[in-house]
Amino acid sequence: MKTDVRELLSIARGYCRLIESLKEGDRCVLGQLNGLLPRLHAAMATAGPRQEAVAEDAGIDLDQRFELYTRLHRLLGDRDSYWMEYDVTPDCQEMSGSLADDLTDIYCELKNGLSRLDYNHDAQRTLGSWQNGFCKHWGQHVVDAERHLYALAVRDRLY
């Protein structure tokens, strides 16, 4: 396995462990995520040529996904929501984003790939699925979360 793929897998495992270990009152997690998400973004950008993705059932448990989102939303409190200035509805109302939603989607994509990898030991297949999903969906969540965490950091609100 290539070094860049091993690094990506290590970052993905670290991200999932961090999200899984969160408890009420854990405020320092934002600082950890502020350091981890750019590494994940860079690892995805340098993971080599895009692999062919195989259509697979994501095996998403919507109840577990909602439970994770709810736990993250409660943990983040007033640091969860952010304005998406470029997203305006036809009646000119601004829409907001949610860091809890971003973190949940990233977690679910990474965890699904890691679970598949544990089952079939095919890193290239997992990488292809991640690259495809990153380009089509969860990469935007990474960028949005990075931007929001940056905004919190410059206002000294990470901790």
- DSSP per-residue letters across 116-132: HHHHH--HHHHHHHHHH
pLDDT above 80: residue 87: no
pLDDT above 70: residue 139: yes
pLDDT above 60: residue 95: no
Q: Domain segments of the chain: what residues? A: 3-51+59-154
Average pLDDT over residues 5-32: 89
* Whole-Å CA distances, 59 to 46, 64, 83, 125: 27, 11, 31, 16
- What is the topology classification, in CATH, of domain 3-51+59-154? Four Helix Bundle (Hemerythrin (Met), subunit A) (1.20.120)
Cα–Cα distance for residue pair 16/34, rounded to 1 Å: 15
Cα–Cα distance for residue pair 20/18, rounded to 1 Å: 5
Do the Cβ atoms of 39 and 12 come closer than 8 Å? no
* Whole-Å CA distances, 112 to 17, 24, 95, 97, 107: 13, 25, 29, 23, 8
pLDDT above 90: residue 53: no
Cα–Cα distance for residue pair 52/34, rounded to 1 Å: 30
Mean predicted lDDT score pLDDT of the chain: 87
Average pLDDT over residues 1-6: 81
Q: Return the SS3 of 50.
A: coil
Average pLDDT over residues 86-112: 82
Average pLDDT over residues 50-79: 81
Q: What is the pLDDT of residue 1?
A: 61
